[in-house]
């Protein structure tokens, strides 16, 4: 966050929390010791001049299931449990092997019960 202002060509003020998993097998069985890459990101229109200590992540196109979440950030694991444990198995979709992310816009307030965000799950 202290360096957010050094990023050029930002298209909005939204923040993104992205998770990149090594493979779709990550979700086959729960194991809290499995590692994944976590990104704190913003969307940009171009990335010709990236600050030295930052990296570019290109988000592949594809379909996403989008869930609106209102509540404390610390209570979000229950929502993810519902998405992966109940909604996804009962839906017509399968999990796709692309980054997962949460969009934290103007209504995001961290651990405030009135905080709002969107959870984007890649599906096919």
Which DSSP string corresponds to 37-49?
Answer: EEEEE--BS--SS
Q: Please tell me the predicted confidence (pLDDT) of residue 71.
A: 95
Strand partners for 10: 44
Q: What is the pTM of this model?
A: 0.87
According to DSSP H, which parts of the chain are helical?
76-82, 88-90
Q: Please tell me the predicted confidence (pLDDT) of residue 49.
A: 79
Q: Please tell me the predicted confidence (pLDDT) of residue 96.
A: 95
Q: Please tell me the predicted confidence (pLDDT) of residue 1.
A: 66
Q: For residues 98 and 14, what is the distance between their CA atoms, to the nearest angstrom?
A: 20
Looking at domain 4-123, which CATH architecture does it have? Alpha-Beta Barrel (3.20)
Q: Please tell me the predicted confidence (pLDDT) of residue 38.
A: 94
Q: Is-contact 111 74, C-beta < 8 A?
A: yes
What are the residue ranges in the chain where pLDDT is below 70?
1
Q: Is-contact 68 124, C-beta < 8 A?
A: no
Q: Please tell me the predicted confidence (pLDDT) of residue 122.
A: 97
Domain limits, the chain? 4-123
Q: For residues 105 and 115, what is the distance between their CA atoms, to the nearest angstrom?
A: 10
């Amino acid at each position: 966050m202290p360096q957010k202002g050094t990023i050029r060509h930002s298209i909005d003020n939204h923040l993104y929390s992205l998770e990149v998993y090594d493979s779709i097998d990550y979700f086959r069985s729960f194991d809290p010791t499995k590692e994944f890459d976590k990104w704190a990101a913003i969307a940009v229109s171009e990335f010709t001049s990236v600050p030295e200590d930052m990296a570019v992540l290109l988000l592949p196109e594809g379909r996403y299931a989008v869930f609106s979440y209102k509540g404390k950030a610390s209570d979000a694991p229950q929502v993810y449990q519902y998405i992966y444990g109940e909604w996804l198995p009962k839906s017509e979709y399968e999990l796709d092997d692309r980054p997962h992310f949460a969009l934290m816009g103007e209504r995001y307030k961290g651990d405030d019960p009135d905080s709002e965000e969107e959870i984007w799950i890649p599906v096919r």
